[in-house]
């Protein structure tokens, strides 16, 4: 089932923003895969790939290239791109996406499943680290330790959704929002006491904001901290900085988080399982996950497993370029 070194898996990247750049970078670390092409909605002449040899095409060229691509990695956004692209492309291509709007996963799964079954393709949705690696931890930990509680903490890291929200506040010229887990809450969870924690007790939010000329700082601060759904339920701090500081100190995209399950096997015996990530670059790390799952999708397709899949349906061995015998010998 392992891909032969002589016939690399041919990958197409759809969408060439931060995540698409990351996928191109990650492919260079995976000798059994090859970048077949980058597909963009922009004019290909205006897109400069990092790798000199990468070909850039229009998204509209995809149907004509179907025979030259084994798996597409979709790098668009969950709000506007993936709900349309994934079902449309799953009709004709194996694919991986990182759809991360949690409440809409069931409908996205259903739409992609219909298309993939009709087209006899394999399409894995919602991979990355959350949803993705964190989901695997949540499912496994609950199954292994049924009498327990699972806690997910995010950060410290940049939340794109919250950053977008604060940029829409009148008087704001630019800004970035960091989600920060409360250290004391993590320690409480790690102790195995299974605390009940409110939203406010788990995370704080830190905003770095550049004001528009003449904007009223107090009014902007009030508008941010009172914003329902995004900030009102949290202790939110707003720092005003210059455009230069924003560019210099806040351009990186670090992130991370923790999934902790604490539970009991008997009255006397408690256990704590913890999975954590500390990432310098959220898009580059996420890209590495998409690439490994593209390998798994190709193998599922070759095994005739058509339809929509998630990370919960993928055996760990399918992610590795190495075969079962080597994995058992070296890593089991």
- What are the residues binding a second copy (CB under 8 A)? 22, 25-26, 29-30, 102, 105-106, 109, 126, 131, 133, 135-136, 138-140, 142-147, 190, 192, 265-266, 268-281, 284-285, 287-289, 292, 295, 310-317, 319-321, 324-325, 327-329, 331-332
- Which of residues 21 and 162 has its CB atom nearest to a second copy in the complex? 21
Q: E strands of the chain, at which residues? A: 9-14, 33-40, 56-58, 71-74, 94-96, 122-124, 148-154, 157-158, 172-181, 203-211, 235-240, 255-264, 270-279, 307-309
- Which of residues 161 and 288 has its CB atom nearest to a second copy in the complex? 288
- Which of residues 205 and 295 has its CB atom nearest to a second copy in the complex? 295
Write down the least CB distance from residue 312 to a second copy, Å. Answer: 4
Task: Print burial letters for 117-154: b (CB count within 10 Å at least 16), e (below 16).
Answer: eebebbbbbbbbbbbbbbbbbbeebeeebeebbbbbbb
- Which of residues 32 and 81 has its CB atom nearest to a second copy in the complex? 32
- Measure Cα distances from 195 to 11, 58, 268 in Å: 45, 52, 18
- Which of residues 17 and 315 has its CB atom nearest to a second copy in the complex? 315
In whole angstroms, give the CA distance from residue 47 to residue 38.
Answer: 10
In whole angstroms, give the CA distance from residue 275 to residue 186.
Answer: 12
Write down the least CB distance from residue 314 to a second copy, Å. Answer: 6
Write down the least CB distance from residue 123 to a second copy, Å. Answer: 14
Write down the least CB distance from residue 307 to a second copy, Å. Answer: 11
Write down the least CB distance from residue 190 to a second copy, Å. Answer: 8
């Amino acid at each position: 089932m392992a891909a032969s070194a002589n016939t690399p898996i041919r990958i197409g990247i759809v969408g060439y923003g931060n995540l698409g750049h990351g996928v191109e970078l990650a492919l260079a670390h995976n000798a059994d895969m090859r970048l077949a092409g980058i597909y963009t909605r922009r004019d290909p002449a205006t897109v400069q790939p990092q790798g000199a040899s990468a070909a850039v095409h229009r998204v509209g060229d995809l149907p004509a290239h179907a025979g030259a691509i084994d798996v597409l990695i979709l790098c668009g956004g969950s709000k506007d791109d993936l709900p349309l692209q994934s079902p449309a492309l799953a009709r004709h291509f194996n694919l991986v996406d990182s759809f991360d709007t949690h409440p809409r996963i069931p409908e996205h799964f259903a739409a992609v499943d219909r298309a993939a079954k009709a087209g006899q393709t394999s399409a894995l949705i919602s991979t990355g680290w959350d949803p993705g690696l964190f989901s695997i931890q949540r499912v496994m930990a609950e199954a292994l330790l049924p009498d327990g509680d699972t806690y997910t903490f995010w950060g410290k890291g940049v939340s794109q959704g919250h950053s977008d929200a604060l940029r829409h506040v009148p008087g704001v010229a630019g800004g970035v929002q960091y989600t920060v887990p409360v250290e004391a809450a993590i320690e409480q969870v790690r102790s195995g006491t299974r605390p009940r924690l409110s939203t406010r007790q788990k995370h704080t939010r830190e905003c770095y904001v550049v004001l528009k000329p003449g904007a009223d700082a107090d009014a902007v601060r009030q508008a941010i901290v009172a914003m329902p759904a995004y900030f009102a339920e949290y202790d939110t701090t707003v720092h005003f900085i210059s455009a230069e500081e924003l560019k210099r100190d806040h351009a990186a995209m670090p992130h991370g988080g923790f999934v902790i399950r604490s539970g009991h096997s008997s009255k006397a015996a408690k256990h704590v399982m913890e999975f954590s990530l500390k990432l310098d670059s959220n898009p580059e790390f996420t890209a590495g996950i998409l690439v490994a799952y593209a390998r798994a999708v190709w193998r599922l397709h070759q095994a005739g497993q058509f339809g929509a899949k998630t990370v919960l349906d993928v055996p760990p061995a399918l992610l590795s370029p190495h075969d079962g015998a080597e994995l058992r010998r070296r890593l089991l």
